[in-house]
Structure 1
Amino acid sequence: MTPPLTPPAIEARGLTKSYGDVAVLRGIDLSVAPGTVFALLGPNGAGKTTTVRILATLLTAGGGTARIAGKDVTAERSAVRRAISVTGQYAALDEELTGAENLRMMGRLAGLSRAAARTRADELLGRFRLTDAASRRVGTYSGGMRRRLDLAASLVGEPSVIFLDEPTTGLDPRSRQEVWELVAGLADAGVTVFLTTQYLEEADRLAGRIALIDGGLIVAEGTAAELKRRVSGERLDLAFAGRGAYEEADRLLGDLVVRREPDELRLGVATSGRAEHVRELLDAVDPDRRLVERFAVHEASLDDVFMTLTAKEPAHV
């Protein structure tokens, strides 16, 4: 007998939302497998926050359906809220309390007994490498420690789905690396992580699947490698001697350009990476050898996907 398929941890079909005449979501379809990290990326105003707020029961959709852990976000809102945790961009902690006191308080608010809240707090402090700082006021914590404590607090109620909004904003590289390891560990432990981030490297590093939203629609979805292949396998970066050369090359290359850096006088062009194709591109854009000052070939990045598939700059997603 064939075992039943595991239902998605997060599922949305045809989600719409409008404010007056402005359509913010125009039919969003998503399916996220349990125990995975899923990233939703898009420019400002693309519909990311609205999508997350609907999935987290903080906003009602205009149309369509959404289910979390098999529960309808509208008809079974209380059950959905018991299954999820939402962690915002900024740590929601009481700075006057110690780390341990913050977690015990969250445990009590989640309905745990005093003893159970203490036990859960001790477990999470150990898991997030905060035991040595447990008795210190949170106001004395570094940014990375606060973020780790915030993640720990979001897990007090043992949610099956956690929504993370910009989890490493403002952190130094070492702290960001630590948080990345913790987020990956959540998925390894069976928690489904729905991530929004402004760091494309973060999505590339953590997410098993990535959806790109623009103008209220999902314009692309897949693994990081699949999305990069939609742009090109490689990117030829061209540096120009002056503004005139840059503008002329931009005009000649047209739709082949996947990355523009006008301040640096650089263009990125889709290429197979093969020597003959690189030579063809150089001959096409600079047959007289007077425009291109330097060139280099790189693997395509999620930045290139953004530049190609959205109409907006990818600096804030």
Structure 2
Amino acid sequence: MAAPLRRWRGGPLSRPRRGDPVTTAGAPAELAVAARELVKRYPGAEQPALDGLELEIFAGETFGLLGPNGAGKTTAISILATLLRPTTGSVRLFGLDPGRRCQEVRRLIGLVPQEIALYPRLTLAENLAYFGRLHGLAGAGLKTQVGDCLAMVGLEAQGGRLVEACSGGMKRRANLAAGLLHRPRLLFLDEPTVGIDAQSRNVIFENLARLKAEGMTLLYTTHYMEEARQLCDRIAIVDAGRVVALGAPAELLAAQPDCRDLEQLFLRLTGRHLRD
């Protein structure tokens, strides 16, 4: 059985009720993410990747960001994770401005990118130890976190294996483990289960559900609509760099009673033409 991560520093985080603008003891819930009028224009592009994107995500919420290829999801995550600067607009993470307090913000966030962010000629344990040191971990604490994170994703017996010798599913699970080493308060996940076997996908999904139950704030992009329906308190459907629908999955479906599921709703809002 996978070992649980140790309790997050600072204790459990408050969690919203599904679909509610959350309050805790009558007070407004803390905003983990506040993105206002985000615009991102890449040089030479005909259209902006983001075109006035607005998001609010509450602390402890699991928030899904859905959209077709090219809708702006990865650009949005890259900006929120401090890897890109917006052309215009503002971002606050737990009330902090990443442009002014970048290092402080980065201690609060973790990123599981769409591409595998591991060194192929290092072992799984060496990769995690390297990333842990970048976050300031050392000594026995680092060793414990590497072991706990490998165990969490079912790789405790594979720590000595080179990444280049791992299956796609093992790499995806290790990618998740690397994002959790420093116990972030907010975790960005950009299609963490894409292109892997059903067993690895299930392990990742179960661990995300566990992190959700422990109160971590998750921002999650996926093309698997059933994952979003099961995991997310609220979802935003984006297209052409803008939010075109926002709410709890059940609320969005209730507003479109002739759509039997999220996939039908998604296609209605974003169209059926191919996106390359």
* Correspondences of 1:1-317 after superposition (within 5 Å): 4-19=27-42, 22-232=47-257, 270=258, 300-313=260-273
Q: Residue 243 of structure 2 aligns to a residue in which SS?
A: strand
Q: Residue 22 of structure 1 aligns to a residue in which SS?
A: coil
How big is the alpha-carbon RMSD for the aligned residues of Structure 1 and Structure 2?
2.2
Q: Residue 48 of structure 2 aligns to a residue in which SS?
A: strand
CA drift at 1:125: 2.1
Q: Residue 85 of structure 2 aligns to a residue in which SS?
A: coil
Q: Is the contact made by 2:153 and 2:203 (CA closer than 8 Å) also made in structure 1?
A: no
Change (3 A) 1:139 1:16: closer
CA drift at 1:314: 7.5
More helix by share: 1
Structure 1 equivalent of residue 20 of structure 2: none
Q: 1:17 & 1:128 partners in 2: Cα distance?
A: 35
CA drift at 1:193: 1.2
Structure possessing the higher relative contact order (Cα contacts under 8 Å, 6 or more residues apart): 2
Q: Residue 201 of structure 2 aligns to a residue in which SS?
A: helix
Identity %: 42
Q: 2:120 & 2:78 partners in 1: Cα distance?
A: 26
Q: Is the contact made by 1:200 and 1:303 (CA closer than 8 Å) also made in structure 2?
A: yes
Gap runs ≥5 in structure 2? 1-24
CA drift at 1:3: 6.2
Q: Residue 78 of structure 1 aligns to a residue in which SS?
A: helix
Structure 2 equivalent of residue 281 of structure 1: none
Farther-moved stretch of structure 1 (13-22 vs 28-37):
13-22
Change (3 A) 1:208 1:313: farther
CA drift at 1:170: 1.0
Gap runs ≥5 in structure 1? 233-269, 271-298
More strand by share: 1
Farther-moved stretch of structure 1 (53-62 vs 210-219):
53-62
TM-score between both structures, scaled by the size of structure 1:
0.72
Change (3 A) 1:63 1:54: same
TM-score between both structures, scaled by the size of structure 2:
0.82
CA drift at 1:78: 2.1
Q: Is the contact made by 2:107 and 2:135 (CA closer than 8 Å) also made in structure 1?
A: no
Q: Residue 40 of structure 1 aligns to a residue in which SS?
A: strand
Which of these two proteins has the greater Rg computed from alpha carbons?
1
Q: Residue 86 of structure 1 aligns to a residue in which SS?
A: strand
Farther-moved stretch of structure 1 (148-157 vs 68-77):
68-77
Over residues 96-148 of structure 1, what are the superposed CA-to-partner deviations in whole Å (9 max), with x where a residue is unaligned? 33322222222222222233211211222222222222233333333222222
Change (3 A) 1:315 1:16: closer
Matched residue type, 2:212: A
Runs of 4+ aligned structure 1 residues displaced above 6 Å come to none
Farther-moved stretch of structure 1 (213-222 vs 198-207):
198-207
Question: How many residues in Structure 1 have an aligned counterpart in Structure 2?
Answer: 250
Matched residue type, 1:122: G
Over residues 42-84 of structure 1, what are the superposed CA-to-partner deviations in whole Å (9 max), with x where a residue is unaligned? 1222222222122111222233221112211222222222211
Q: Is the contact made by 1:88 and 1:165 (CA closer than 8 Å) also made in structure 2?
A: yes
Q: 1:301 & 1:86 partners in 2: Cα distance?
A: 29
Q: Is the contact made by 1:231 and 1:308 (CA closer than 8 Å) also made in structure 2?
A: no
Q: Is the contact made by 1:28 and 1:218 (CA closer than 8 Å) also made in structure 2?
A: yes
CA drift at 1:19: 4.3
Q: Is the contact made by 2:65 and 2:235 (CA closer than 8 Å) also made in structure 1?
A: yes
CA drift at 1:312: 4.7
Q: Is the contact made by 2:234 and 2:246 (CA closer than 8 Å) also made in structure 1?
A: yes
